[in-house]
Amino acid sequence: MRLTLENVGKKFISEWVLRGVSLELNVGESYTFVGPNGSGKSTLIQLLMGVVPPSEGTIRFQKENKELEIDDWYKEIILAAPYLELIEEFTLRELIEFHQKFKPLKNNFRAVDFEDFVQLSHARNKIVRHFSSGMKQRVKLGLAFLSDVPVIFLDEPTSNLDAMGIQWYLKNVVNLTQNQLVVLGSNQAQEYEFCKNIVSVSAFKGKGRL
């Protein structure tokens, strides 16, 4: 699996948020986009996911040396981010079972295994709407960690987590890169201390106005 960006830029109205982004991201590696708030980390992740189109340049998603159509990218990726919405009318068990209809879990994990993994087995029948922000973030991260997909996006992954939650994240995130591509957006060093490939988004920030 390979993601390639060639001279990619994104403009909102008259301002370039990002411009001149050329990168190659490969499976088996982790990459972290760093920079202050507003530098374009989340925008770059959304470009890579195909959520927003680039204003210029090309993004290629290749699997087994075959380029995928953008409409098929979603099958290969998953995102955990504080702005990601869960279906709050479901119980945790219902949410997991619904998710599995679209993306199976690794190692034939069942819903009960997932609940144990995120340390929320006591809340399996609780409506997600009534979860704390930290519990919701654990669920989002758990879905990212355990879904059987080659590309994982983590944007501000420890947002809303307490100290125990952060340790749980750090313990599990390091096990992801063997057969997967992991892409983080962060300005917190502890979130990406395991990552060897650090990309400063500020290098692509605001190169001109139109």
For residue 31, tell me if it sits in a domain: yes
The owner of tokens 């609940």 is 115
Lookup: tokens for 95: 């949410």
For residue 40, tell me if it sits in a domain: yes
For residue 144, tell me if it sits in a domain: no
For residue 147, tell me if it sits in a domain: no
For residue 187, tell me if it sits in a domain: yes
Q: What is the CATH number of the domain that holds 48?
A: 3.40.50.300
Q: What's residue 175's pLDDT?
A: 86
Q: Taking the model in full, what pTM does it have?
A: 0.94
For residue 114, tell me if it sits in a domain: no
Q: What's residue 209's pLDDT?
A: 41
Distance (Å, whole) CA 80 – CA 73: 16
Residue type, 47: L
For residue 59, tell me if it sits in a domain: yes
Q: What's residue 205's pLDDT?
A: 76
Q: What's residue 53's pLDDT?
A: 95
For residue 22, tell me if it sits in a domain: yes
The number of domains in the chain is 1
- pLDDT bin (cut points 50, 70, 90) of residue 83 is very high
* Buried-state track 41-80, b at ≥16 Cβ within 10 A, e below 16: bbbbbbbbbbeeebbebebebebeeeebeeeebeebbbbb
Distance (Å, whole) CA 151 – CA 88: 25
Lookup: tokens for 21: 């982004």
Residue 143, number of CB atoms within 10 A of its CB: 22
The range of the structural domain enclosing residue 39 comes to 1-64+183-210
**DSSP helix/strand/coil, 66:** strand
Give 46-63 pLDDT, tens digit per residue.
999 999 999 999 999 999
Q: What's residue 65's pLDDT?
A: 87
**DSSP letter assigned to residue 28:** T
- pLDDT bin (cut points 50, 70, 90) of residue 178 is confident
Q: Is the pLDDT of residue 15 over 80?
A: yes
Distance (Å, whole) CA 4 – CA 65: 12
Q: What's residue 210's pLDDT?
A: 40
Give 126-166 pLDDT, tens digit per residue.
999 999 999 999 999 999 999 999 999 999 999 999 999 99
